């Protein structure tokens, strides 16, 4: 197999359409059942805000983007250290098996190390056995945990609820 030159770069605001395309491709691959609510404007407001809520790496071959990784920082109370959370890691199907996922994962590990992160974490679907095998090849522990999610409409509903109990200062 010939060696290919893979370039990993940080996405810029000019890459919003490309990022939107990759997120759509990943949603399709993951069989995401709901319509995406993502827009070019939302990407601009969140990924390129100061400070950004998340960052994107693009993997390129011959100046053509063929994969991406979206990441942000979280905090581990158990470690008292930051964690690099990978929201998405995706390589286009025809480009898989060429070292692109490895290059993205290596760059994420470098970023995590530079930020003194105690962990690099993400989720993977149980049915994505190819990805699980790929991750395990690099020493990844695949944990038996469940992702919990509250959608925005329920967040608003939950945030508006008030406790029925009223607490008052005790009187002497």
Q: Which active-site residues does the annotation give?
A: 135
Return the SS3 of 27: helix
DSSP codes of every residue in 83-125:
EEEEEEEEE-GGGTTSSHHHHHHHHHHHHHHHTT-SEEE----
Q: Is the peptide bond before 51 cis (omega within 30 degrees of 0)?
A: yes
DSSP conformational letter for 30: T
CB within 8 Å of 30: residues ≥ 6 apart: 125
């Amino acid at each position: 197999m010939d060696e290919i030159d893979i370039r990993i770069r940080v996405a810029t605001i000019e890459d919003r359409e490309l990022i939107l395309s990759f997120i759509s491709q990943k949603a399709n691959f993951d069989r995401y059942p709901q319509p995406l609510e993502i827009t070019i404007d939302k990407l601009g407001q969140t990924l390129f805000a100061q400070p950004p809520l998340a960052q994107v790496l693009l993997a390129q071959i011959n100046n053509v983007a063929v994969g991406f990784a979206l990441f942000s920082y979280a905090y581990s109370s158990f470690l008292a250290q930051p964690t690099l959370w990978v929201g998405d890691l995706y390589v286009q199907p025809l480009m898989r098996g060429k070292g692109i996922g490895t290059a993205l994962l290596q760059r994420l590990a470098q970023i995590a190390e530079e930020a003194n992160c105690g962990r690099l974490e993400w989720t993977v679907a149980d049915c994505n056995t190819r990805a699980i095998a790929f991750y395990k090849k690099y020493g990844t522990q695949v944990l038996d945990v469940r992702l919990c999610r509250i959608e925005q409409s329920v967040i608003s509903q939950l945030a508006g609820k008030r406790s029925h109990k009223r607490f008052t200062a005790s009187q002497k």
